[in-house]
Structure 1
Amino acid sequence: MNGHKEQEQILNSESIIVFLNENHEQVVNKWLSSALLSPHDPFYKEIEQNGRSTLLALQRYLRSTEMTMMDQLTKKIAQERIEAEANIGDFVYNINTGRKIVTELVFCSLLTENEKGKGIMAINDFFDQLLYLAVKEFSRLKDEIIKSKNQFIQEMHHDRLTMLGQIAASFAHEFRNPLTSIKGFMYLLQKETPHQEKTKHYFDIIQNEMESLEDKVTQFLYLSKMKNLEDRIKPFHLSQTVHDMVDFMYPRFTESNIVHNIMITPGIWVEGEPSQIKQVLLNILNNAVEELCQMEGERRIDVHVTKGKEQCEVRISNNGEPIPAYLLENIFEPFVTTKSLGTGLGLSVCKQIVEKHSGTITVQSHSQETAFYIKLPLYEKKV
């Protein structure tokens, strides 16, 4: 009984195969005239051969559901479509056009209804498999190209940042030397110049501008990933340092109507350069104030310092507008900024400093708040 059914199935398949073989040229020509093809396609001459190979793969599939030829064919076609920079929509359309031509031809043939029904089901199954394998291979090749391009872009970005760091270090040192001399002569001039109110005002302006220049030079030095000659690594009281910076910012908080809440675990010590950690805290607090000044309603900054087993965490959050999602991932990269007139160096410098202290800095931002997390290894003070 089973042998009879298998023989009947083979006979049905053979009749479809014979029919497709007899109408081979008609199917290929009709498909070529209906498919979305460009005469400028670099594989234009291969396309007709691919159509013929597809029909041969179909006949082999109908005979034994063997997919080796189909698998080889889809890899070849997908590779050619990638190199031709073809649209995947056109790619899928052309495969389905071939399906439609074959099924309509079989449906309108003089084959029996039984042969037509089983044949069309098998043909659709073949084209479903063909489409799946072709799109899968096409997508895989596209992903490889994208991955390769992203890697190239990252390498270029890394090379440029490295070069920028070297240039920054060179320029920073070149600027720092004359700045030191100017500051020295300014000090001498202040001592020798009569103390008039207007003169003192001018000297104060020059002094402020000099300090601003020095801050910029320091930022470029941090950006170059070089330790400054002035670095003096030592244990220091982080809890007190955070308190000091919040107290320092208090006038700005009051002026900007910002409510601040601090919860600092006492007795936390870390090792590093206190002035650099102060710069990180000041940068993040200043950014928070500037962001909050642009919003109406309650303005809030929270500063929490907690202690773990091996590290401590400084959490600084504000309830301002969230950082845009497209910037969040790269917010610590140089020249990435949410400010219209910002340089994009502040957070990059913060990252350099924290990492130089063997710590990490991360950010989370959503509609409720933006929070920066600074984690540093603990220093156990010897009694």
Structure 2
Amino acid sequence: MNSLSGSTHSVEEKIIKFLEETEEDFLSLWKESIILREDDIFKDRVSGNGHQMYLLVKKSLKSSIKDEEIKELAYKVAKERVLSKSNIGEFVYNVNVGRSTVIKYIIKSGISINDLQPIIDQINDHFDRYCYHAVTRYTELKDIEIKEKMVFVNQSHKDRLSLLGQMSSSFVHEFRNPLTSVMGFVKLLKNENPALKYMDTIEHELDQLKFRITQFLHASKLEVADKNKEEILVKKLFDEITAFLYPSIVDGDVKLSMTIDPTCTIVAVKDEIKQVLVNIILNSIDALKHNNSIDRKLCIKSEVRQESILFNITNNGPEIPEETKEAIFEPFYTTKSLGTGIGLYVCKSLIEKHNGTIYCESYKNKTSFIITLPINEKKPTVD
């Protein structure tokens, strides 16, 4: 902005002279009033930056200053604020302290307020532009910093998942074959000796072990092949799952209720969708064990919404904290002492591979996992 012309030149000259005479007092008062942390690595430069802005204000009273001059100082300070990990609010506060202090000083110059008003407007304009450029640059640098951190975090996750994949391959190879043999011999024993005690329990525990092994396998190889997809009757799928988990439901003293559309179908990889639902239900049962009341409820509902089907799995266990609800779907995040932190991550990945969504809602005594999947328009005949 150009300096004032004509009769106002003498006003500007008086203000400049006054500011030069009170410069040390101004900077001392400003420094006493600002927020400056002891651990700020650039605290020794703050006074110099304030002085530079002070000089720019004086220069603007003599002649116009280019926006690039303001921007250059603003960018320099923004970079220092980012590197010092300071709060941008502190910077804005300090700038406004400088603004108000300058204006207070020129008001004391003895010049009438009518003559000062255009000068005050001009000073406010310079401070506004300075603050705008600094905050904008600060935000840009912070975004770059966050993106760089996310690249590192994502690469770290990829590295860990790669390692997990190698471990899973070895794990599955070493354990799946003997496990399959053991499960086969248990079935033979059960057929030949139907009255033999504990066989159902042994068979169930082996099925659970097989499920956990498969979970590790999916954590490293999350692919959905169209050729493996099939039309699945949702009611039948949940009947299979609850039969599989019946011992866990009884052991947890859980009251299960289901409201499932008997005609609804989806097209999906059955084993993978089954794994997701089993994992969510098992997690719900685990959560209910922390509910000391005798009324432990697990409610499963399905609801058709246009081209999608919505599954709602709700328990009345403890509330999941707000800051935890998103993190639970991240790999290796767990609140369990012996948890792996891959269960919900695998669930989310498999659901998204099926073009669906999964999220969590949690309140006092009510936690829900909501899953949506594309629905198949064709409905099979129900026997």
Q: TM-score, normalised by structure 2?
A: 0.73
Matched, 1:267 2:263: yes
User: The residue matched to 1:331 in structure 2 has which SS?
Assistant: helix
The aligned counterpart of 1:314 is 311
Q: Which amino acid aligns with 2:8?
A: Q
Q: Which amino acid aligns with 2:172?
A: A
Matched, 1:287 2:283: yes
User: The residue matched to 1:57 in structure 2 has which SS?
Assistant: helix
The aligned counterpart of 2:236 is 240
Deviation by residue 1:100-120 (Cα, 9 ceiling, x = unmatched): 7655654665x5455995598
Contact 1:323/1:338 (<8 A) preserved: no
Go from structure 1 to structure 2 and tell me whether the alpha carbon gap of 1:185 and 1:252 turns closer, same or farther (over 3 Å shift).
closer
Q: Distance in 1 between matches of 2:354 and 2:40?
A: 59
Q: Which amino acid aligns with 1:317?
A: T
Contact 2:26/2:101 (<8 A) preserved: no
Offset of residue 49 of structure 1 = 5.7
Structure 1 range deviating more: 111-120 or 163-172? 111-120
Contact 1:13/1:119 (<8 A) preserved: no
User: The residue matched to 1:342 in structure 2 has which SS?
Assistant: coil
The aligned counterpart of 1:17 is 16
The aligned counterpart of 1:334 is 331
The aligned counterpart of 1:62 is 61
Contact 1:28/1:51 (<8 A) preserved: no
Give the paired residue count. Answer: 369
Contact 2:298/2:315 (<8 A) preserved: yes
The aligned counterpart of 1:71 is 71
Q: Which amino acid aligns with 1:264?
A: I
Offset of residue 83 of structure 1 = 3.6
Go from structure 1 to structure 2 and tell me whether the alpha carbon gap of 1:121 and 1:219 turns closer, same or farther (over 3 Å shift).
same
The aligned counterpart of 1:219 is 215
Deviation by residue 1:193-219 (Cα, 9 ceiling, x = unmatched): x98x9xx66988876665444332211
Q: Distance in 2 between matches of 1:100 and 1:306?
A: 60
Deviation by residue 1:296-334 (Cα, 9 ceiling, x = unmatched): 264333222233554333222223222221221132333
Go from structure 1 to structure 2 and tell me whether the alpha carbon gap of 1:117 and 1:151 turns closer, same or farther (over 3 Å shift).
same
Deviation by residue 1:69-91 (Cα, 9 ceiling, x = unmatched): 33332222222343455565764
The aligned counterpart of 2:346 is 349
Offset of residue 264 of structure 1 = 1.9
Aligned-residue Cα RMSD (Å) equals: 4.6
Q: TM-score, normalised by structure 1?
A: 0.73
The aligned counterpart of 1:154 is 154
Contact 1:16/1:115 (<8 A) preserved: no
User: The residue matched to 2:154 in structure 1 has which SS?
Assistant: helix
Q: Which amino acid aligns with 2:238?
A: V
User: The residue matched to 2:311 in structure 1 has which SS?
Assistant: strand
User: The residue matched to 1:217 in structure 2 has which SS?
Assistant: helix
Unaligned runs of 5+ in 1: none
Structure 1 range deviating more: 253-262 or 316-325? 253-262
Q: Distance in 1 between matches of 2:252 and 2:378?
A: 38
Contact 2:235/2:264 (<8 A) preserved: yes
The aligned counterpart of 2:376 is 378
Offset of residue 155 of structure 1 = 3.5
Q: Distance in 2 between matches of 1:321 and 1:205?
A: 29
Deviation by residue 1:10-43 (Cα, 9 ceiling, x = unmatched): 33123212433x4387468747985859899569
Deviation by residue 1:140-179 (Cα, 9 ceiling, x = unmatched): 4334323432343233323432442343234322332343
Deviation by residue 1:274-298 (Cα, 9 ceiling, x = unmatched): 4444443333233223323332264
Go from structure 1 to structure 2 and tell me whether the alpha carbon gap of 1:157 and 1:115 turns closer, same or farther (over 3 Å shift).
same
Q: Distance in 2 between matches of 1:233 and 1:357?
A: 10
Q: Distance in 2 between matches of 1:37 and 1:281?
A: 51
Offset of residue 221 of structure 1 = 1.0
User: The residue matched to 1:313 in structure 2 has which SS?
Assistant: strand
Q: Distance in 2 between matches of 1:39 and 1:323?
A: 36
Deviation by residue 1:254-286 (Cα, 9 ceiling, x = unmatched): 675644433222222333454444443333233
Contact 2:75/2:134 (<8 A) preserved: yes
Go from structure 1 to structure 2 and tell me whether the alpha carbon gap of 1:137 and 1:272 turns closer, same or farther (over 3 Å shift).
closer
Q: Distance in 2 between matches of 1:228 and 1:78?
A: 47
Contact 1:61/1:126 (<8 A) preserved: no
Contact 2:99/2:127 (<8 A) preserved: no
Provide the identity percentage: 34
Q: Distance in 1 between matches of 2:124 and 2:60?
A: 10
Offset of residue 62 of structure 1 = 3.1
Q: Which amino acid aligns with 2:171?
A: F
Go from structure 1 to structure 2 and tell me whether the alpha carbon gap of 1:24 and 1:48 turns closer, same or farther (over 3 Å shift).
farther
Q: How does 1:10-49 map to 2 (within 5 A)?
A: 10-20=9-19, 22-23=20-21, 26=24, 30=28, 44=44
Go from structure 1 to structure 2 and tell me whether the alpha carbon gap of 1:116 and 1:339 turns closer, same or farther (over 3 Å shift).
same
User: The residue matched to 2:327 in structure 1 has which SS?
Assistant: coil
